[in-house]
């Protein structure tokens, strides 16, 4: 299990100051996992059976999420990305969006609220989510073939995902992004088809190198399709020109045949981008993480759930701020996937929040 930190340790900075780590990286992006549950069982993420679900009592309530988000926004976080597990499985998802979307930073500007989803409940929920203030969507789609989808996700729900993408495409939410994990002998022959599908839906396809984050710990480097292989394959169809100005974004992007359409690659394994990372993660059970691959977590539950009457609102907020600063302060310069001693985190991606 990851090493939890129960109390805030010394870390420089006071409430309202930016969250800067010891390597000068300013943290502006908080990924909020709303649940570890999911309607799919993607092989690279979750085991088919035997998942150890988070205890219901440990899952953050809507009020607790909003409280943490307000403190983070006051400290300069400008983007919240809702994820999971599958965020749309959370019964209060529209209310989560409504309450987070109105949070403002110290300059009075509203935060940007995005979501990563498998898309399955989008047709019914999207109008309410947009009305509640959702600004951007990433939808995961690894294959366009029904039999492959069933094998890969262990559920026969490709049609539901495609309906979700159609709903997103018809909505005004832009930019719309589709995420695909490229996998050897699974979907590596569909890379061009996936990009074309995204273009047909006014979306950008972003390929993700498969990372060692599956709950079953079955990741095998030799099975990974690399950034170079992805680019080689796409170059057989389009002329690729790099898009400058990546900043802290995980995806490198290329214009297709001069643009305006683009494709992205997130090469966490073969071309890590840790030097510009501005992301923090909050798990559904209230653990702050400074990296996907971290084995240390910073537990917010004791700060949030103090015995009644023992701490006022200001003290609780100060404790959350202290934990955010400790978490940022403890961030390493980079992940160590490529080191021989790399230890995969105990949690799978569904419980960390992608
Ligand atoms: N259920 C939602 C979805 O699938 O979009 C949100 C959560 S999911 C964990 C977020 C993203 O992580 C998805 O795009 C998924 O493809 C990606 N992901 C999960 N496990 C991964 C792995 N081992 N390597 C690379 N990406 C992974
Ligand atoms: Fe569920 Fe997303 Fe993980 Fe697939 S990648 S099992 S959709 S959480």
Q: Write the pLDDT tens digit of every residue in 36-63.
A: 999 999 999 998 888 889 999 999 999 9
CATH of 3-352 among 3.10.310.30, 3.20.20.70, 3.20.20.80, 3.40.50.12780: 3.20.20.70
Residue 62's contacts (CB-CB under 8 Å, 6 or more residues apart) are 92, 95, 96, 99
Provide mean pLDDT across the span 198-226.
90
> Is residue 117's pLDDT more than 60?
yes
Model pTM?
Answer: 0.95
The answer to whether the beta carbons of residues 45 and 348 sit under 8 Å apart is yes
pLDDT band at 9 (very low <50, low <70, confident <90, very high): low
> Is residue 288's pLDDT more than 50?
yes
Whether the CB of 266 sits within 6 Å of ligand 1:
no
pLDDT number for residue 347: 83
DSSP state for residue 26 in the 8-state scheme: B
CA 157 / ligand 2 centre spacing (Å): 13
pLDDT number for residue 309: 82
Provide mean pLDDT across the span 133-147.
98
The answer to whether the beta carbons of residues 300 and 316 sit under 8 Å apart is no
205 strand-pairing partners: 178, 263
CA 117 / ligand 1 centre spacing (Å): 9
Whether the CB of 213 sits within 6 Å of ligand 1:
yes
DSSP state for residue 206 in the 8-state scheme: E
Whether the CB of 46 sits within 6 Å of ligand 2:
yes
Question: What percent of the chain has pLDDT above 70?
Answer: 97
């Amino acid at each position: 299990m990851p090493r939890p930190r129960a109390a805030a340790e010394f870390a420089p900075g006071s409430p309202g100051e930016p969250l800067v780590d010891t390597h000068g990286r300013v943290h502006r992006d908080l990924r909020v996992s709303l649940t570890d549950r999911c309607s799919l069982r993607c092989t690279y993420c979750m085991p088919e059976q035997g998942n150890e679900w988070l205890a219901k009592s440990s899952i953050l309530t809507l009020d607790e999420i909003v409280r943490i988000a307000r403190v983070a926004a006051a400290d300069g976080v400008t983007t919240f990305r809702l994820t999971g597990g599958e965020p749309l499985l959370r019964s209060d998802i529209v209310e989560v969006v409504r309450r987070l979307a109105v949070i403002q930073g110290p300059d009075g500007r509203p935060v940007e609220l995005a979501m990563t989803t498998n898309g399955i409940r989008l047709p019914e929920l999207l109008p309410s989510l947009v009305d509640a203030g959702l600004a951007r969507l990433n939808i995961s789609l690894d294959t366009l073939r029904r039999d492959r989808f069933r094998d890969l996700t262990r559920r026969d729900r490709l049609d539901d995902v495609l309906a979700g993408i159609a709903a997103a495409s018809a909505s005004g939410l832009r930019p719309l992004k589709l995420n695909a994990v490229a996998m050897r002998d699974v979907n590596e022959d569909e890379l061009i088809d996936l990009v074309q599908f995204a273009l047909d839906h006014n979306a950008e396809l972003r390929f993700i190198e498969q990372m060692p984050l599956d709950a079953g710990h079955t990741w095998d480097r030799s099975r990974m399709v690399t950034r170079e292989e992805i680019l080689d394959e796409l170059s057989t169809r389009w002329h690729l020109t790099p898009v400058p100005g990546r900043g802290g974004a995980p995806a490198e992007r290329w214009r297709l045949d001069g643009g305006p359409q683009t494709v992205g690659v997130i090469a966490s394994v073969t071309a890590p981008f840790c030097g510009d990372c501005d992301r923090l993660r909050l798990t559904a059970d209230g653990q702050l993480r400074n990296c996907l691959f971290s084995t240390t977590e910073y537990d917010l539950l004791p700060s949030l759930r103090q015995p009644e009457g023992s701490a006022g609102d200001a003290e609780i907020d100060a404790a959350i701020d202290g934990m955010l600063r400790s978490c940022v302060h403890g961030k390493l310069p980079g992940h160590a996937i490529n080191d021989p001693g790399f230890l995969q985190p105990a949690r799978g991606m569904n419980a960390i929040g992608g």
